[in-house]
Amino acid sequence: MASAVDDEGRQLHPRQWNNDFIRLPKVCKKEQHRPTVTPTELMEILSKTKQRKYFVLFALLAGTGLRIGEALSLRRSDFGPDGRVLHVRRSIWRGYEQKPKTPYSVRVVDLPEVLAFELREYLSKVNRYLFASEAGKPLGQRKVLRVLHGKKDVGFHVFRRFRATWLRKNAVPRDLELLWMGHAPEEVGDPYSTLNEDTKFRQQWAGRVGLGFELVHTIHNFEKDAEVLNAA
């Protein structure tokens, strides 16, 4: 809340909150609810997803840890020639493009071959946004959430938590984890890392770590999307 200030920049009418009076609860991070999913639950979600567009989206979220706004903003041009490198350049909020959440969210994410293989064929059928409506606009988060809730009553962040946990279980170098997840440096030496320039090293680790779940391939069971992939 703004306040008038004097010539020295001091507030003329400073506000001091009485947390006890307004009954502001204390936030205890250890007590916060942070649901996630197991590999078995992920495979169950994928096996129940009959529209390929959503199948690819959920697999991509779990296999990369992208935020939902980042994933919905993806275009065909954001992927390298073989689909192994993904460039996060923007995000979608309420149907409009915007800059990603933080400067560190602008990054490269390396995909294991099994996920890249799934994406290559899918990418060949899209022109602009990967996950578009019939009008060619990015899918809305609410619509995607309704589809997800039809498989399991969870939120988008469970995919991101799953990926972060899997990276740590496999002892991925810390600065590489920060890069892939789009997190800010935590130690003094973190900004000195140049791993974002070492594609070979990054992809070796991406292949070593894998997805952490089996990519249930049900291509012959996909229902025809009501919305065309090829929307302009």
- C-alpha distances in angstroms, 63 versus 82, 116, 143, 180? 17, 10, 21, 11
Query: Does residue 3 belong to any structural domain of this protein?
Result: no
CA distance 154 to 173: 29
pLDDT tens by residue, 112-163: 999 999 999 899 888 889 999 888 899 999 999 999 999 999 999 999 999 9
Question: What is the dihedral angle through the alpha carbons of 150, 156, 160, 162, rounded to the nearest 10 degrees?
Answer: -30
Query: Does residue 13 belong to any structural domain of this protein?
Result: no
Query: Does residue 227 belong to any structural domain of this protein?
Result: no
pLDDT tens by residue, 76-93: 999 998 899 999 999 999
**pTM assigned to the model:** 0.80
Query: Does residue 198 belong to any structural domain of this protein?
Result: yes
Least confident of 5-19, 71-85, 96-110, 149-163: 5-19
Query: Does residue 108 belong to any structural domain of this protein?
Result: yes
Provide the residue range defining the domain that includes 154: 37-221
pLDDT tens by residue, 187-219: 766 677 777 788 999 999 999 999 999 987 644
Query: Does residue 113 belong to any structural domain of this protein?
Result: yes
- CATH of residue 105's domain is 1.10.443.10
Query: Does residue 44 belong to any structural domain of this protein?
Result: yes
Query: Does residue 176 belong to any structural domain of this protein?
Result: yes
Domain total for the chain? 1
